[in-house]
Every structure is written in C-alpha cells, then in structure tokens.
C-alpha cells in the first residue's frame, strides 16, 4: 500500500510539473510576441530605453523564433541611437554570431563600422577608433562587395583617412613653426606615402618643397616643385607660396 501511494504521489507530481511547464510555455510563446510588438512600437516612437527591455526579453526567451534576429537587430540599433556605441557593437556582433544567415546580418556588419565611426574623436585626439572604423569598413566591403552600403562605407573610409592625414599634417606644420625642417619633411612623407588620396596631398608637397628650400636642397626642391598641381592648392596664400618657391612673378 505504501509503495502504491509513493508511486501515485510521484506520478501526480510528474503530471503537475509537465502541466506547469506546458502552461508556462504557452504563456511564454504568447508573451514574447506581445513583448516584440510592444518593443517595436516603442522603437518606432524613439523610446529606446523602454524598447530595449522588451527586445532583450525576446532574444533571451525565444532565440529560436522567427523574430529573434529582428529583436536582436532592433536591440542593437536602440543602443546605437542612444549613443551607447560600444554596447551596440557587442549586440550587432551577437547577431552575426547567433544568426549569421539572417537578412539583417549584412546591415549589422555595416553598423559595427558606423559605431566605430561615431566613436572616432576629433583629429587632434587619439585615433584608435578611427583605425578600427577603417578596418571594419574595409572588411565589410571585402565580405559584401555588392552591398547597397558599399558606397557609404567607402565614403566613411575616405573621411577617416582625411582625419588621420590632418593629424599628421598638423604635426608637420608644428615642426615647421619650430624650424625643424628635416623633422617636418619626415613627418610629411607619411602623408605622401600613406594618405596620397586625400585633399592634403598637394598642400603637403608645397610644405615639403618649402622645407627643402630652407635647408638648401635645390635638387629635392625642384623635384617636389614639379609634382605640385597648382590648381589643387586650397588657398590663394598657398598659390603665392608656390610661386615664391622658384621666385616666379605673381
């Protein structure tokens, strides 16, 4: 009798647990759809802090659902719009890791570059994030060469490269102010070698020519002078400097 009661007890407990799990699963299935819809509404209303809570619920409670990748993408985008760029990077990377075949994977990959781009400071400061942005955009182009985001990625790369070139250019001009002509030349050579595709290329040649004139290296002065395209000099002052290098009348 005791054995029968024990068996019945365990059977009842098992049924209760199974019923409870089944019931909670039904509630969960309905609730994650509601949470996604609520989160999407808040997202559309630009209430990103509140939307994050709903998208997080969906991602962690229904990772195998059809809307999980959408929730993950909007979760990442919410952090992006809140300017929480490092968190957004983690969330976009999580989408790529967990749902690599998602239709949103390509844009998520591009958005990682956008996050680094936003983290990139003014050119006078440390440019670590600028380098990260360039690398991410380049990797994106290599991975998705036919993407609709390719042109924007290429433009971002050029913007970042110009920022890096400006930092070097300013350093070179500082050496010129200090009359450290050889140090200035070495600094400007970085622009010639690395940032030749930026608008600072011609002004850099002009500065180098002036430095060679100051140290009396006529051969190098002549060589650099003939590489300068006067039409691409940015200001009338630069054009006057160009003419004065070889004492050409205005």
pLDDT confidence of residue 120: 98
Of 144-148, 180-184, 213-217, where does mean pLDDT reach its minimum? 213-217
Q: Quick check: is 231 in a domain?
A: no
If we measure between CA atoms, which residue out of 134, 127, 93 comes closest to residue 113? 134
Is the model's pLDDT at 243 over the cut of 90?
Answer: no
Number of domain units in the chain: 1
CATH of the domain at 79: 1.25.40
Instruction: Please write the tens of the pLDDT for every residue from 192-203.
Output: 999 999 999 999
Q: What is the pLDDT of residue 29?
A: 56
> For 24-41, what is the mean pLDDT?
76
For residue 22, tell me if it sits in a domain: no
Answer whether residue 79 is part of any domain.
Answer: yes
Is residue 34 one of the residues assigned to a domain? yes
Judge whether residue 225 has pLDDT over 70: yes
Pairwise pLDDT comparison (77 vs 9), residue with the higher score: 77
Sign of the alpha-carbon torsion through 66, 68, 73, 79: positive
pTM of the model: 0.83
Determine, yes or no, domain membership for 65: yes
Residue 234 falls inside a structural domain: no
Q: According to the model, what pLDDT value does residue 136 have?
A: 99
Owning domain of residue 81: 27-99
Q: Which helix (H) or strand (E) holds 244?
A: helix 236-245
Could you tell me if residue 188 is inside a domain?
no
229 within some domain = no
Structure tokens at 59: 């991602």
Please say if the pLDDT value at position 19 is more than 90.
no
Tell which wins on pLDDT, 16 or 49.
Answer: 49
Range 179-207 average pLDDT: 96
Residue 30 pLDDT level (bands cut at 50, 70, 90) = low
């Amino acid at each position: 009798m005791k054995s029968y009661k024990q068996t019945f007890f365990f059977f009842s407990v098992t049924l209760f647990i199974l019923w409870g799990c089944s019931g909670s699963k039904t509630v969960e299935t309905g609730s994650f759809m509601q949470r996604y819809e609520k989160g999407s509404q808040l997202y559309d209303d630009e209430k990103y802090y509140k939307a994050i809570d709903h998208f997080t619920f969906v991602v962690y409670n229904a990772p195998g659902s059809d809307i999980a990748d959408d929730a993950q993408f909007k979760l990442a985008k919410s952090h992006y719009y809140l300017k929480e760029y490092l968190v957004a990077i983690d969330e976009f990377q999580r989408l790529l890791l967990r749902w690599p075949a998602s239709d949103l994977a390509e844009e998520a990959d591009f958005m990682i570059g956008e996050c680094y781009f936003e983290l990139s400071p003014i050119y006078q400061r440390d440019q670590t994030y600028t380098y990260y942005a360039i690398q991410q955009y380049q990797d994106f182009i290599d991975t998705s060469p036919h993407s609709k985001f390719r042109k924007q990625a290429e433009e971002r790369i050029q913007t970042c490269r110009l920022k890096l070139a400006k930092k070097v250019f300013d350093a070179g001009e500082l050496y010129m102010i200090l009359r450290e002509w050889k140090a200035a030349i070495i600094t400007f050579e970085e622009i010639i070698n690395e940032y030749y595709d930026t608008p600072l290329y011609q002004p850099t040649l002009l500065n180098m020519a002036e430095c060679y004139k100051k140290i009396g290296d006529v051969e190098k002065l002549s060589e650099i002078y003939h590489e300068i395209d006067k039409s691409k000099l940015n200001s009338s002052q630069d054009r006057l400097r160009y003419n004065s290098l070889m004492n050409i009348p205005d």
